[in-house]
Structure formats: C-alpha cells, structure tokens
Amino acid sequence: MLAHLDKGISLDRFKVLVMPDGLPRLSADQKARLRAFTAGGGIIIRAGKSEPGIVARVEAAAGGPRLSIEPRGHVLGQLTRKPDGRTLILHLLNYDHQVPAGNVKVRLDLNGLVQDLRGWEIKVLSPDAAQPQFTGLSLHGSVGEFTLSQIEHYTVVTLTARPAR
C-alpha cells in the first residue's frame, strides 16, 4: 500500500483500499493522496491482520459483481464482458490437474451490471466435455446460481441478453 503511494501510482483506478493496522506514520504527501482518493469517492477500510469478515466488507464497499464458488479450493473464476455489454463470460479454471472439481456451486451477483437476468440465455462450454452439464439454474434479479457437475480443467459460462421483442 505505501509502496503505491510512494511510487506515485494513481489510486483512482481503485474503489477500495484496505489499510492494515500498525502502519508507520504517513507523510504529509501520503495523507494528501489518501484525502484526494476519498474526496473522489474512494473508500478506505482499516483492518487487523486476522479480522473476520474483511472480504465481505470490501466487496460491499466496492459494489459491482461478486462471484462465489463452492466448495472452495482449486477452482478460480474470472468474469469478463464483451464490449457490447450484452454478453458476460465467466471463465472457470480448475488448477488441480489431478482431480476434477465436482458439483461446483456458482453464485454470480451481477449487481451494477444487470438488473434482471430472467431474459438472459445461459450456456456452458468446455474443451473437457462434449456436453458440459449444469443443474439448479436460478435467475432472480441480478443473481444467477447453478451447479456444474464437473470441471476437469476449464469451463466457460456465457450469459447473453436476449433481444427485446
């Protein structure tokens, strides 16, 4: 954190900064940069080393989309959006190459991007399976939930807005 301040890295690309307790005293320049950050709408959260709930606090402060994957472990997710804004692409990577991830529950809260997913088409694609399967699809407001039967290595989920009639 202090290295970013000292190197002159622009803070305006961040929505939230987490500052650990026990930082050395900030210089006048560092304080001024943090004041400018908060004046521009940025949020600073002070947190202890093992403070419970810090991730939830940061996610709530940052707003925007949130992804949760269960069981936690070896599956990572990355959400991207095509420039037209009508298609979202969720990349899911199982980085345990010895054991496929099974019954992966995905919860995608698209708050800030999509207000109502009911008119969206969901597709699952994977180079690992001819017909990748998902079950338990639930689309409610900006939240989509489903379970993928297996992710061997890589799976993509596309969410596409259907054209208005």
How do residues 11-59 score in pLDDT, each as one tens digit? 877 888 888 877 888 888 888 888 888 898 888 888 876 667 777 777 7
Q: 0.85 cut: is pTM over it? A: no
Structural domains for the chain: 2-62 (no CATH), 66-161 (2.60.40.1180)
129-145 pLDDT, tens digit each? 888 889 999 999 999 99
Longest dimension (CA), the chain: 60
Instruction: Identify whether the C-beta of residue 148 lies closer than 8 Å to the C-beta of residue 134.
Output: yes
Structure tokens at 106: 């995905």
Count Cα atoms within 13 angstroms, Cβ side, for 83: 0
